[in-house]
Amino acid sequence: FLCIDGRLHIQIFNSTNVYTCFYTGQIVHIRQIVNGWLREGSIRCPPCTEICNDDQWVDRYVSQDSDMEKVGCLPDSKPPHGSYIGDVPLDEPCCAFKWFFRPVILIIVIFVICL
């Protein structure tokens, strides 16, 4: 978890990608290939205030008009770019095997018929 800019951010599989939580219970869709394996699932965002306490903010203070204001969790809000948060759907990496097995199955069928 990262606490930045008043929002909780989730980091998965030590990736450089982070997913921003805009509200409690928000669903983040995960589709990543890690070490050759497809990792797919979803995560519900916990309340920002449960994870991000005063010591965990990366940007602890924000300057506004020469006054230093302490950063905390922003109120829940809708995501700015729609309700879908997460990775884009991937082409199934295993679909390449289908093209390999079709000719093999065809050869087996022909061989069995010829017997």
Is 71 or 72 the better-scoring residue by pLDDT? 72
Write down the residue that tokens 């997913």 correspond to: 19
pLDDT-derived band of residue 66, with 50, 70 and 90 as boundaries? very low
Sorted by where each begins, the domain ranges of the chain are 2-90
The mean per-residue pLDDT over the stretch 100-111 comes to: 72
The predicted-structure confidence for 21-57, as pLDDT tens digits, reads as follows 999 999 998 888 777 777 888 999 999 999 888 776 7
3-25 pLDDT, tens per residue?
888 899 998 877 778 889 999 99
Pairwise CA distance, residues 64 & 49, whole Å: 23
> DSSP alpha helices (H): ranges in 1-115?
48-51, 95-114
Distance CA 15, CA 34 (A): 9
Share of the chain above pLDDT 70, in %: 73
Report the C-alpha gap between 75 and 7 in whole angstroms.
9
Q: How crowded is residue 1: how many other Cβ atoms within 10 Å of its Cβ? A: 14
Token reading at 114:
């010829």
Q: What percent of the chain has pLDDT over 90?
A: 19
Q: Kindly report the pTM of this predicted structure.
A: 0.63
Cβ atoms 60, 53 nearer than 8 A: no
Q: What residue has token string 């409690």?
A: 24
What DSSP state is assigned to residue 53? -
